[in-house]
Amino acid sequence: MPASGELNTFGDASTAALFAEAVARLTQTGGQKVEIDFAPFRETAALLYGGPWVAERLAAIREFFDRQPESVFPVTRGIIAGGRRFSAVEAFEAWYRLEELRLRARIEWRKIDVLLLPTAATIYTAAEVEATPIELNTNLGYYTNFVNLLNCCALAVPSGFNQRGLPFGVTLVAPASRDGLLFALGAAYHRLVGGRLGATSASLSQDLPPRSGPSGRNRVRVAVVGAHLSGLPLNDQLTDRGAILVCCGRTRPAYRLYALPNTTPPKPGLVRCARDGQAIELEVWEMPIEEFGSFVASIPPPLGIGTVELADGERVKGFLCENYAVAGAQDISGFGGWRQYLAAVDARATEFSPA
């Protein structure tokens, strides 16, 4: 997130409060808050309309624009016509400036996996925008106009409503080709916020399907169901090997989950069964294939890596448990997943703890 003092809400106090709630949600789910220098992103955003990239828009429609300028909406016409003022020298100078900003942004990306921003710093009425369209639309693009120029991917997610009942959203941003990470994180975040599906009366499902596709040739996907989940004690065995979260989902309803006794940290065992199976919550991570061997070698018995079938039919490598180890172990399949079981254990401990 932007460092303290760099969050610009254009005077909208509700945005600052709602954004703080969003940061707290991601932190509570295992995320680590890291404040970065937002300046290279902000300065890149200013180039989109303040630099010669406007001339590219003119080039795209120049023949039509020169022939029928009156057919273009006046505000848009003024912006596009501004592309005529830039020289070729200025275009190259701006390109060099963008390359400098890309290098500075790359330094910040080394510190983080995902950048969390307000989708818009504030919200205006249509009348306000019509009165001062250039200034207010520039404000609305404050946290988004850098994305294409810095070759990023981004996903906007609903994040509540302000005191006026107007919607607020956050945007998850990552370097190019990290879309799978944003899909998974955005889906998990959206479920935390809850609410309806857009303007419909339908409630947001708590069991969103995983978003997945073929792995890269030099990477392998691994399904985890227990202590390797995001924010849990062994997750660093994945992240230390350069693994990234691809999706959150469930197995097909063909498994049972058991709480394994005498394991440190506590771990579950996933066992495939011929009947009476259930869908178990999981995460799918993707790691460099050269790291996969050392990861498998670090897994103690009775756990091992086999093939796990996801709800959509995809098969990936994943944690399975040998059958002998679940004899007498507590069957926790009814909880639907390891996190839910841990939450129930914590709730019971709190209920019966002495005052």
Write out the DSSP string of 77-105: HHHHHGGGG--HHHHHHHHHHHHHHHHHH
Over the chain, what is the mean pLDDT? 89
pTM: 0.60
pLDDT of residue 185 exceeding 60 = yes
Q: What is the pLDDT of residues 281-338, one digit of tens each?
A: 999 999 989 999 999 999 999 999 999 999 988 999 999 999 999 999 999 999 999 9
190 Cβ contact partners less than 8 Å away, ≥ 6 residues apart: 157, 158, 204, 208
Q: What is the predicted pLDDT for the residue at 326?
A: 94
pLDDT of residue 277 exceeding 50 = yes
User: Tokens at residue 305, please?
Assistant: 């890596």
Name, of 116-120, 158-162, 177-181, 201-205, the range with top average pLDDT. Answer: 116-120
Average of pLDDT values for 202-209? Answer: 60
Say if residue 265 is preceded by a cis peptide, omega within 30 of 0.
yes
pLDDT, greater one: 245 or 225: 225
Average of pLDDT values for 36-61? Answer: 92
Q: What percent of the chain has pLDDT over 70?
A: 94
User: Which among 265, 219, 224, 226 is positioned nearest to 243, based on CA atoms?
Assistant: 219
Asked whether 271 and 325 are in contact (CB, 8 A), the reply is no
pLDDT, greater one: 306 or 178: 306
Average of pLDDT values for 146-165? Answer: 93
pLDDT of residue 346 exceeding 80 = no
Q: What is the predicted pLDDT for the residue at 210?
A: 42
User: Which among 144, 133, 131 is positioned nearest to 42, based on CA atoms?
Assistant: 144
Q: What is the pLDDT of residues 56-110, one digit of tens each?
A: 989 999 999 999 999 999 988 998 998 899 999 999 999 999 999 999 999 999 8
**Distance in Å from the first CA to the final CA of the chain:** 39
Q: What is the predicted pLDDT for the residue at 349?
A: 64
Asked whether 318 and 224 are in contact (CB, 8 A), the reply is yes
Domains of the chain (ranges; CATH) run 13-51+86-193 (no CATH), 219-352 (3.10.490.10)
Asked whether 42 and 139 are in contact (CB, 8 A), the reply is no
Give the CA distances from residue 194 to residues 35, 47, 158, 204, 337, in Å, rounded to whole numbers and listed in that order. 27, 36, 9, 6, 19
pLDDT of residue 31 exceeding 90 = no
pLDDT of residue 217 exceeding 60 = no
Q: What is the predicted pLDDT for the residue at 258?
A: 97
pLDDT, greater one: 214 or 179: 179
Range in 17-26, 132-141, 239-248, 343-352 with the lowest mean pLDDT: 343-352
Q: What is the predicted pLDDT for the residue at 96?
A: 95
Q: What is the predicted pLDDT for the residue at 350?
A: 55
Of the pLDDT bands very low, low, confident and very high (cuts 50, 70, 90), residue 40 is: very high
